[in-house]
Amino acid sequence: MTGMALPLLAMAVGAGVLVAAAVFHRADEDEVLGDLLGLRAQWPEGEDDDDELSPVTGRAVELAGQVVERMDRARSLGNLLERAKIPLRPGEFVIVLAGAALAAAAIVVAVSGSMLTGVGAGILVVLVTAQLLRRRVTKRRKAFEAQLPDALSLVASSLAAGHTFLRAVQMMCEESPPPLSEEFARLVAETRLGDSVVEALERTALRLQIRDLDMVVQAIRIQQTVGGRLADLLHTLSDVIRARDEVRREVMVLTAEGRMSAYVLTGMVPFLFAVIEVLNPTYVKPLYSGMGLVLLIGCGVSVVAGLFVILRMVKIDV
**Average confidence (pLDDT) over 302-317:** 89
Q: Mind spelling out the 3-state secondary structure of the chain?
A: CHHHHHHHHHHHHHHHHHHHHHHHCHHHHHHHHHHHHCCCCCCCCCCCCCCCCCHHHHHHHHHHHHHHHHHCCCCHHHHHHHHCCCCCCHHHHHHHHHHHHHHHHHHHHHHHCCHHHHHHHHHHHHHHHHHHHHHHHHHHHHHHHHHHHHHHHHHHHHHHCCCCHHHHHHHHHHHCCCCHHHHHHHHHHHHHCCCCHHHHHHHHHHHHCCHHHHHHHHHHHHHHHHCCCHHHHHHHHHHHHHHHHHHHHHHHHHCHHHHHHHHHHHHHHHHHHHHHHHHCHHHCHHHHCCHHHHHHHHHHHHHHHHHHHHHHHCCCCC
**When comparing pLDDT for 12 and 312, which is higher?**
312
Instruction: Write out pLDDT tens, residues 245-258.
Output: 899 889 989 999 99
Instruction: Write out pLDDT tens, residues 255-289.
Output: 999 999 999 999 999 899 889 988 888 888 888 88
Cβ contacts of 259 within 8 Å, gap of 6 or more:
310, 311, 314
How many beta carbons lie within 10 A of that of residue 34, not counting itself? 13
Rounded CA-CA distance 117/111 in Å is 10
Closest alpha carbon to 240 in 214, 221, 266: 214
Rounded CA-CA distance 126/124 in Å is 5
Average pLDDT, the chain: 80
**Average confidence (pLDDT) over 172-189:** 89
Instruction: Write out pLDDT tens, residues 113-134.
Output: 778 788 888 898 999 999 999 9
* pLDDT of amino acid 153: 92
- Distance set, CA 146 to CA 16, 62, 248 (Å): 37, 38, 11
Cβ contacts of 106 within 8 Å, gap of 6 or more:
5, 6, 8, 9, 11, 12, 118
How many beta carbons lie within 10 A of that of residue 176, not counting itself? 19
Orientation of helix 115-160 relative to helix 165-175, angle to 10°: 130
Closest alpha carbon to 95 in 137, 63, 119, 136: 63
Q: Is the pLDDT of residue 310 over 60?
A: yes
**Average confidence (pLDDT) over 53-73:** 67
Q: Is the pLDDT of residue 28 over 70?
A: no
* pLDDT of amino acid 16: 53
* pLDDT of amino acid 198: 84
Instruction: Write out pLDDT tens, residues 89-118.
Output: 888 888 888 888 888 888 888 887 778 788
- Distance set, CA 261 to CA 182, 268, 271 (Å): 36, 11, 15
pTM above 0.85, yes or no: no
* pLDDT of amino acid 116: 79
Closest alpha carbon to 14 in 92, 123, 108, 95: 95
**When comparing pLDDT for 294 and 3, which is higher?**
294
